């Protein structure tokens, strides 16, 4: 298989909502012409793939995950011409574009739903899931537990309940209906024709329902996804699917099929365990979940992340672990949303620079493709008073001028208020200031991306965890073809020693990758290292 077809293994993905990035026409919303202007920034940062949150026509009750027309761009964000130009300009800079394919549900404003509810005899009735009894499928959990009491909502117009796994304004499509299956294939083809490189498959475990099950990960889902994948491969080359399946590793594994379903899947259970490991100063949470992580097909890849546009979800942990996370990371109860925590990376780390660096070392050196959430590269803050998940979706902070350089409208017209608190406010945390300061977090992030991009092993290599006696240290080797790395992370806030058994690299020389500094060669005896608080080393092991 050609290297180009595996591009997603070498990618560094940057997630953003077009609305949040740059407002070029003074309407208070970021737009495609604005985002296009900021591509140079992203190119210099070093990322090579952008994942866009939904930008389709929407009543905006779930930030665009409530779609009322799959083939129209929401007018605040520009036109189709603007979008295509953006894709072209991104490609010119070797940046790929992944967009959202929201299969599971539409907005209740979608014409399909409007028609479906207009009469029980409507031709579109069967596009959605209706029932007289709201007890059906009662083993399915409620995901947005803060807002919804049931997965059924009564429609007074047609006198039946409709099924929804998310907000009640987001009716689930009925994938048992072949017309729905085909309609979504048409949507896929429509967007492939615009030149995009891939799709994040939103909420993919919930496509089908079946009595007596929890209505997640059903076999029918995999049959349909394989069909969708065949469509993806039919006319186009090197396009990918990234599954959003917030599930245990064993249940995520089938979404990759035999390399014939999704190319990538997010590793949801790893994410909270990275946060647990650093706070507990203990490598166990990471080692345990990695032990449970199955081998995946050669042409597949994990997508790793620390934060994204949602709350830090805590579905894939035990109740005890969830309590621990809440106690440690959500002292203010307002920070809790559904089961998770609605905070950005920097506030979660109490703005601790070394902690932020360490978490990024893990994100960038564990096996998979890293996904950075916009703004986290400058350590942006959040606003837990904004409701729902809006507090982590505030305008990008470009400079210390009016509206953080995001827009020139009056502040009241911005889609969301800027962060203005003394620690994270845009006067102190912004791209311009950090570009001018050599030691800034932005420059540090750029450097990390550059180091990673020099080696294929990060995205493609295997991993072996090294056994040693200090649980505060997480050490592993990564190997691919003729590249071997040794990664050592200190999860503790104090200095830590570690003795690593590297006998099988006897005579090899470690080269520290950030400074290109050579360390004494490995011998027969355990290799002794001392690490500063929350520090890490990335070594290349060179055979002589
Ligand atoms: C998952 C998305 O990440 C989230 O933002 C959205 O609210 C739900 N799917 C419903 O579409």
SS3 for 16-50 is ECHHHCCCCCCCCCCCHHHHHHCHHHHHHHCCCEE
Ligand 1 geometric centre to CA of 442 (Å): 28
pLDDT at position 2: 53
pTM over 0.85? The answer is yes
pLDDT tens per residue across span 25-84? 999 999 999 999 999 999 999 999 999 999 999 999 999 999 999 999 999 999 999 999
Interacting residues of 75 by C-beta distance below 8 A, sequence separation 6+: none
Task: Mark whether 244 is an active-site residue.
Answer: yes
Round to whole Å and give the CA distance between 101 and 46: 26
Ligand 1 geometric centre to CA of 203 (Å): 7
pLDDT at position 167: 98
Ligand 1 geometric centre to CA of 456 (Å): 32
Catalytic residue among 15, 100, 216, 244: 244
pLDDT tens per residue across span 5-23? 999 999 999 999 999 999 9
Would the pLDDT of 1 be above 60?
no
Q: Which residues pair with 408 in a beta bridge?
A: none
Tokens of 357: 């660096």
Instruction: Return the closest-CA partner of residue 524 out of 507, 541, 544.
Output: 507
Interacting residues of 120 by C-beta distance below 8 A, sequence separation 6+: 130, 158, 159, 160
Closest ligand 1 atom to the C-alpha of 309?
5
Ligand 1 geometric centre to CA of 57 (Å): 16
Tokens of 279: 């706070």
Among 310, 315, 373, 393, which is best to mutate for testing ligand 1, by the most ligand atoms less than 8 A from CB?
310
Among 15, 62, 170, 388, which is best to mutate for testing ligand 1, by the most ligand atoms less than 8 A from CB?
62
Round to whole Å and give the CA distance between 99 and 52: 5
Interacting residues of 221 by C-beta distance below 8 A, sequence separation 6+: 175, 204, 205, 207, 208
Catalytic residue among 202, 209, 216, 382: 202
391 phi and psi, to 5 degrees? -65, -20
Q: Quick check: CB of 65 below 6 Å from ligand 1? A: yes
Three-state DSSP class for 512? strand
Q: Quick check: CB of 62 below 6 Å from ligand 1? A: yes
pLDDT tens per residue across span 78-135? 999 999 999 999 999 999 999 999 999 999 999 999 999 999 999 999 999 999 999 9
pLDDT at position 235: 85
The two beta strands, 517-518 and 509-512, are: antiparallel
Would the pLDDT of 518 be above 70?
yes
pLDDT > 70: what percent of the chain? 99
DSSP per residue over 339-359, as a string? Answer: TEE---HHHHTTT-HHHHHHH
| Sign of the alpha-carbon dihedral angle for 458, 459, 464, 470 | positive
Q: Which residues pair with 499 in a beta bridge?
A: 528
Task: Mark whether 231 is an active-site residue.
Answer: no
Round to whole Å and give the CA distance between 97 and 86: 10
pLDDT tens per residue across span 395-406? 999 999 999 999
Would the pLDDT of 221 be above 70?
yes
The residue whose C-alpha atom lies closest to atom 11 belonging to ligand 1 is 65
Letter string b/e over residues 11-49, b meaning 16 or more CB atoms within 10 A of that residue's CB: bbbbbbbbbbbbbbeebbbbbbbbbbebbebbeebbbbb
Interacting residues of 24 by C-beta distance below 8 A, sequence separation 6+: 31, 33, 34, 37
Tokens of 457: 């092993």
pLDDT at position 485: 98
Round to whole Å and give the CA distance between 390 and 406: 17
Tokens of 255: 């979404």
CB 335 within 8 A of CB 329: yes
Three-state DSSP class for 205? helix
Q: Quick check: CB of 172 below 6 Å from ligand 1? A: no
Round to whole Å and give the CA distance between 171 and 173: 6
């Amino acid at each position: 298989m050609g290297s180009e077809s595996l591009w997603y293994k070498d990618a560094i993905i940057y997630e953003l909502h077009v609305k949040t990035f740059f407002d070029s026409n003074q309407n208070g919303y970021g737009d495609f012409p604005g985002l296009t202007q900021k591509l140079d920034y992203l190119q210099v940062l070093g990322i090579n793939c952008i994942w866009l949150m939904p930008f389709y026509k929407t009543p905006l009750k779930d930030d665009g995950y409530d779609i009322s027309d799959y083939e129209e761009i929401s007018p605040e964000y520009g036109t189709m011409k603007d979008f295509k130009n953006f894709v072209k300009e991104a490609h010119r800079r070797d940046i790929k574009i992944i967009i959202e394919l929201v299969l599971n549900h539409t907005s209740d404003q979608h014409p399909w739903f409007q028609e479906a509810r207009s009469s029980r005899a409507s031709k579109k009735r069967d596009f959605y899931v209706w029932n007289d009894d709201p007890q059906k499928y009662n083993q399915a959990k409620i995901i947005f537990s803060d807002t919804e009491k049931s997965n059924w909502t009564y429609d007074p117009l047609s006198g039946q309940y409709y099924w929804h796994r998310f907000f009640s304004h987001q009716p689930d499509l009925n994938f048992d209906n072949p017309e729905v299956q085909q309609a979504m294939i048409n949507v896929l083809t429509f967007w492939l024709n615009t030149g995009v490189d891939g799709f994040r498959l939103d909420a993919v475990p919930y496509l089908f329902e079946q009595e007596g099950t929890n209505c997640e990960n059903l076999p029918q889902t995999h049959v349909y996804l394989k069909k969708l994948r065949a469509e993806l491969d039919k006319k186009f080359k090197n396009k990918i699917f990234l599954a959003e399946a917030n599930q245990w590793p064993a249940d995520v594994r089938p979404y990759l099929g035999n390399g014939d379903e999704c190319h990538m899947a997010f590793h949801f259970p790893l994410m909270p365990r990275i946060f647990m490991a650093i706070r507990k100063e203990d490598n166990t949470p990471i080692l345990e979940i990695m032990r449970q992580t199955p081998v995946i097909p050669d042409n597949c890849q994990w997508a790793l992340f620390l934060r994204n546009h949602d709350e830090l979800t805590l579905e894939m942990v035990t109740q005890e672990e969830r309590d621990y996370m809440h106690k440690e990371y959500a002292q203010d109860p307002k920070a809790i949303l559904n089961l998770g925590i609605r905070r950005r990376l920097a506030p979660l780390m109490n703005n601790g620079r070394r902690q932020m660096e360490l978490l990024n070392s893990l994100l960038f050196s564990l096996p998979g493709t890293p996904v950075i959430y916009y703004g986290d590269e400058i350590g942006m803050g959040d606003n837990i008073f904004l409701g729902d998940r809006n507090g982590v979706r505030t305008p990008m902070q470009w400079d210390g001028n009016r509206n953080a350089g995001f827009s020139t409208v009056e502040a009241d017209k911005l889609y969301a208020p800027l962060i203005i608190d003394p620690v994270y406010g845009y006067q102190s945390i912004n791209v311009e200031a950090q570009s001018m300061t050599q030691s800034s977090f932005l420059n540090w992030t750029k450097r990390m991306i550059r180091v990673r991009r020099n080696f294929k092993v990060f995205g493609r290599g295997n991993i072996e965890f090294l056994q040693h006696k200090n649980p505060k240290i997480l050490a592993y080797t990564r190997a691919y073809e003729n590249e071997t790395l040794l990664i050592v992370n200190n999860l503790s806030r104090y200095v830590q020693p570690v003795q690593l058994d590297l006998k099988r690299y006897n005579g090899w020389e470690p080269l520290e990758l950030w400074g290109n500094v050579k360390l004494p060669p490995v011998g027969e005896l355990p290799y002794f290292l001392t690490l500063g608080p929350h520090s890490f080393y990335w070594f290349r092991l060179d055979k002589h």
